[in-house]
Structure 1
Amino acid sequence: MKTSLFEFFVPTKILAGEDSLSNLFYELSLLNSKKPIIVTDKGIVNAGLLKYVEQPLREAGIEYIIFDEVPPDSSLKIVKNIYEIYKQSSCDSIIAVGGGSVIDSAKGANILIAYNSEDLADIAGADRIDRKLKPLIVIPTTSGTGSEVTSVAVIADEENGLKLPFASQFLIPDVTVLDARMTLSLPPIMTAATAMDALTHALEAYLSLQKNPISDSFSLTAIKLIFQNLYKVIDDPKNREYRLNMMIASTCAGVAFSNAMVGIVHAIGHTLGGMYKIPHGVAMGILLPAGLEFYYDTRKAEFEEIIKLLNNFLEEKVKDLIEYVRNVLTRLNALTNLPIKLSDVGVRKSDFDNIAKMSLNDGSIVFTPKYAGIDDIIKILEVSY
C-alpha cells in the first residue's frame, strides 16, 4: 500500500472485560490521584450504575466528590459549574461516568482547570490547548461516542445556538474502563442510536482524506463488531458479551476517527444538534445513507473492501453497502422506533439553506475526500428528509 506520511496517536490505557472497574483504585494510584471529582448525570445515578464506581473507591478509602447535573447536551454553563466545584473541593483528577455529554463536559472542565479560566469559548478550535491537563479516567455508559479515547470534545454554546468544537491531543483521556455492566440497562433506542454514532465514526474515518493503514484497521474492526453484535444485543440486552463487544467497537471507532477524522455527515450532524437538539447518534443514523451516496464516487475501492468484510461473516450477502445500511436502519426503526428521517425529528425544509451554510463552517468537513458545497449538503438533507 502506497501511503504518504501520517501520524497516529493513541496514548489512552484501555481496561476492558468482566468487572474491569475493580481495578479503578490501582489506576488512580498510578496517576497519583487522591481526590477525584466524579462527573455524571442523574440518569446514571437513578439507574444505580454509580455503585460500580463508588465501591472500589470506598474499599480503598479514596475521598471523592460527585457532580451529577450534566444534561443530555453539555453546555458552557455546566462546564463552568464543574470547574468551580473542582476548585472549591480541592480535587486533583476527574472520573467521567456517562455518555458523550458527560465525557465532553469533563474534558471541557479539565481545560478550564488547566487555564484557571471561566471562559471556555476563548480556547475553542483545533490545537489551541498548549499544556497538559489533570488526570482523566473515563467510564463510558453507552457504546457510540468514542469520546473515551478521542482528542475532541463538543460543548454547546446555548446563548448563540452553536456547538463549540475542541481538538487537542491534551484532551485524550489517560485511562478508559470498558465494563459491560455499565451498559446493561441502556434502552433499545439508545443502543441503536449510539451504535449508529459508532458506525458513522468508523465509516467516515475509513473514507476520510486523513485515513491511514493503522486507522483503517481500527475502523474495520469497529464495523465488523457492530454488524456482528447489534441485532444480538437488541434482542438480548443483558448479554454481557454482546454489550462488551459493542463497547469495544465504539472505542475502536473512536481511535480511528481521532486519528483519521470524520467528514460531511458529522459536519451536518453538528449543525442539526445545535439548531434542533437532535441526539447526535440519531442524526448520524438519519444522515449516513445519503452521506455514503455522496462519498461513493471517490471511494469505490473502500466501499468494496467493506462489502468484502461484511460478506465474510453475514449470512445475508451484501452487494450494495448503501442499500444494506438503509435496510439496517429500517429494521432498527421497527425494533426500537429509532427515527430514520429528518421529518421524524422536526427539521424544517425552510432551514435547509441555513443548515448548509453553517455546516460548511464545521471543522469536520475539511476531511471530506471530495469538494462539498452548499448544493451537496442540501441534497443530503433532501435525501434524508
Structure 2
Amino acid sequence: MTFRFYLPTRVFFGEGVLKEHGDFLGRLGRRALVVTGRKSAIVSGAMADFEELAKSLGLSWIIYDEVAANPTLETVAKAIDLARGEKVDLVIGIGGGSPLDTAKAVALLAPNRAEAAELYEAKLPVEPLPMVAIPTTAGTGSEVTQNAVFTLPDKQTKKGFSDDRCFPRVALVDPRYTYTLPRDVTIDTALDALSHAVEGYLSKRSTPLTDTLAMEAIKIFSRHKHGLLEDELTPVTRNELMYASTLAGMVIAHTRTTLLHTLGYPLTYSHDIPHGRANGYLLAAYLEFIQPAEPVKVDTLLKALGMNSVAEIQELIRHLLPPATQFSKAELERMASLVVNAESLTFTARRATLDDLYGILAKSLGQ
C-alpha cells in the first residue's frame, strides 16, 4: 500500500473556536482584507465574532462584501484592487464556498501583481498572502482545500482552479454559524458535501485514507437524513453536518471532483440551480453510470447510506428537493457538449463519452 496525504491547513473545529483559538490570526498579519458576501457573515454572527477578536488582537481590517453566489473573475479583480490599495498582509474569507474561493484567489494573485483574468495561466512566483477560512455553510469544504471554482461567462460554465499554496493557513470551523441557514440551503449544501464524499470515494485518485474520510462523511449524512427530511435541524445535526463537510473537503483536496460536479456546473450557470442541488438531481444517474466500473464500492456506499439500491437514492432526492426542471433534448445535448473534454472526466472511475453525459442528464432532467 502506498499513498500520499497533504493537508497544511491548521483546523480548529467546534463552537466558539474564534474566541478560543483566534489569537492565531495575530501571528499571520496586522491588516486584513475580509472577503465575504452581503449577508451571511453578519446573519450567522461570524462577522461580529471576528470583529471582537480583531479588536482584541489589535488587527485593522477592510471589508469586501460584494461576493455573490458563483463569483466571476471580475469579482476577484475588484477584491484584488482593494487588497493592493489597502496594502493588506492577510486575507480572511468568511462565508460559503464563494467568499472562501474568492479569498484564495485574492491571496494568491495580489502579491504577484497578476490580473484576475490570468488566474488559470499566469506564472505566480511570489508566495501568496496568508489566508484564513471561516465557513458559514456545511457544504463546500473549501476551508480545507487548495481548490477554487469560478464562473466563466465566455465558456458558459464554471471551472475549477487548484494550487497547493491556496490551502488556507487556518480554518476556524464553528457549526454555530450554520444555525441560521434555512432548510433549503442546508439541504443544498449537505448534498454538496455528500457529493464530494461520494465522488472522492469513487475517484481514480482515491486512497485508503481518503476512502476512510469519505465513508465517515457519508455515514454522517445517513444519520441525519431524517432531520433533513423532517426539518429537525438540531444543534447536533448542524454540528455533524459541518464536520462531514470538512471531512469531505479533505477528501476532494486529494481526489478532486469527478464528472458529477462538472455536469452540474452548466445547470448552475445557465439555469441558476444551486450547486449542491444540481449535484443532487444528477446523483442517482451518476451512480448508475459508475456502478459497472466500481460495483463493490457503489454497494459499500449504498450500505453506508442505509440503502439497498440506487433507486432508493433517487427516492430520497425526490423528497429532499423541489421537482427538477425538465429540459429539452437540445438543451441537454448543449450542456453535455460543454463538459465532454473536462479534466475531471479523467479522474472518473468510468470513462464517459458525449452520449454517456447526455444519458446522465436525460435520466435526471429529461422530458
TM-score (norm. length: structure 2): 0.93
Residue of structure 2 equivalent to 1:378? 358
| Aligned 8 A contact 2:26 2:57 in 1 | no
- 1 CA distance for matches of 2:175 and 2:359? 39
User: Which of 64, 68, 76 pairs up with 2:65?
Assistant: 68
- 2 CA distance for matches of 1:353 and 1:310? 32
| Aligned 8 A contact 2:44 2:179 in 1 | no
- The one-letter amino acid paired with 1:374 is L
* Inter-CA distance 25–200: structure 2 relative to 1 (3 Å threshold): closer
User: Which of 7, 11, 17 pairs up with 2:8?
Assistant: 11
What is the alpha-carbon root mean square deviation over aligned residues? Answer: 2.0
- The one-letter amino acid paired with 2:283 is L
- 1 CA distance for matches of 2:77 and 2:21? 26
- 2 CA distance for matches of 1:48 and 1:341? 29
Q: Secondary structure at the match of 2:114?
A: coil
Residue of structure 2 equivalent to 1:341? 324
User: Which of 233, 239, 259 pairs up with 1:264?
Assistant: 259
Alignment of 1:204-219 (within 5 A): 204-219=199-214
| Aligned 8 A contact 2:213 2:248 in 1 | yes
Residue of structure 1 equivalent to 2:191? 196
Residue of structure 2 equivalent to 1:27? 24
- The one-letter amino acid paired with 2:339 is S
Unaligned runs of 5+ in 2: none
- C-alpha offsets along residues 239-283 of structure 1, whole Å, 9 cap, x if unaligned? 332212111100101111110122111111123323333221111
| Aligned 8 A contact 1:24 1:56 in 2 | no
- C-alpha offsets along residues 36-90 of structure 1, whole Å, 9 cap, x if unaligned? 1111111225525221221211233321111111111211111011111111111
Alignment of 1:1-385 (within 5 A): 3=1, 5-23=2-20, 25-31=22-28, 33-45=29-41, 47=43, 49=45, 50-118=47-115, 120-124=116-120, 131-232=126-227, 235-237=231-233, 239-311=234-306, 318-320=307-309, 322-332=310-320, 338-343=321-326, 347-385=327-365
* Inter-CA distance 235–279: structure 2 relative to 1 (3 Å threshold): closer
Q: Secondary structure at the match of 1:244?
A: helix
Residue of structure 2 equivalent to 1:335? none
| Aligned 8 A contact 1:129 1:168 in 2 | no
Question: CA shift at 1:160, angstroms?
Answer: 4.6
- 1 CA distance for matches of 2:83 and 2:111? 12
Question: CA shift at 1:19, angstroms?
Answer: 0.8
Larger deviation, residues 127-136 vs 153-162: 127-136
Residue of structure 2 equivalent to 1:314? none
Question: CA shift at 1:129, angstroms?
Answer: 5.2
Matched residue count:
363
| Aligned 8 A contact 1:353 1:378 in 2 | yes
Question: CA shift at 1:309, angstroms?
Answer: 3.2
* Inter-CA distance 384–342: structure 2 relative to 1 (3 Å threshold): farther
Question: CA shift at 1:230, angstroms?
Answer: 4.2
* Inter-CA distance 155–224: structure 2 relative to 1 (3 Å threshold): same
* Inter-CA distance 56–230: structure 2 relative to 1 (3 Å threshold): farther
| Aligned 8 A contact 2:40 2:95 in 1 | yes
- 2 CA distance for matches of 1:325 and 1:156? 29
- 1 CA distance for matches of 2:360 and 2:299? 22
| Aligned 8 A contact 1:45 1:68 in 2 | no
TM-score (norm. length: structure 1): 0.89
Question: CA shift at 1:219, angstroms?
Answer: 0.4
Question: CA shift at 1:114, angstroms?
Answer: 3.2
